[in-house]
Amino acid sequence: MPAHPPPVRPDHVSLARTKAAETTGSPGTTERMEDQVTQMEGVYIISVAARILDIHPQTLRKYEKLGLINPGRTLGMLRLYSREDIRKVRLIRHLAGNLGLNLAGVEFALGMVDNLLRLTQRMEAAAEGSHLEHVIEQEMAALFRAMHLPLED
């Protein structure tokens, strides 16, 4: 039977051990543990993410299979959902549930939202330090509101 190479872990997922995980009972442990909590904050396994979103884990798997979301993975292949993944699933649910889009429409809309966000970043970077930076931010926020797209939790 041929050996299969292990799956590639996405770059944004780190499994490096922190000093807090290796240290117990020494002075300053509380501070190191706070650092570890900060690094791990906002990363959830599928059951926790599903509970946060009040959906079935299979729905998250379906969204991943369709390419709508791309959660990180551990070396053991557990899915890890970031705050951004949670925010994106909420947007998917809004697009499908409140705006009536099918999943193909959701995919198209997500692509447009990503393009608009990148455009906003480029425009704000180009206008950095000028009065236009604030104007761009306001105009883009108005555009998203007009499209009924909630971008914050």
Is 61 inside a domain boundary? yes
Name residue 79's beta-bridge partners.
73
What residue has token string 């292949």? 77
Is 43 inside a domain boundary? yes
Is 1 inside a domain boundary? no
- Dist CA 68 CA 76 (whole Å): 22
Predicted local confidence at residue 17, as pLDDT:
38
Question: What is the full per-residue pLDDT of the chain (153 aa) written as tens digits?
Answer: 455 454 454 555 444 433 333 344 444 544 454 444 434 456 899 999 999 999 999 999 999 999 999 999 888 889 999 999 999 999 999 999 999 999 999 999 999 988 998 998 999 889 888 888 888 888 888 888 888 776 654
CATH value at residue 72: 1.10.1660.10
Is 37 inside a domain boundary? yes
Which residue range forms the structural domain that includes residue 85? 19-146
Predicted local confidence at residue 23, as pLDDT:
40
Number of domains composing the chain: 1
Find the DSSP H helices in 1-153: 19-22, 29-40, 46-53, 57-65, 83-93, 103-126, 132-146
Predicted local confidence at residue 151, as pLDDT:
60
Is 41 inside a domain boundary? yes
Is 153 inside a domain boundary? no
- Dist CA 70 CA 85 (whole Å): 8
Is 72 inside a domain boundary? yes
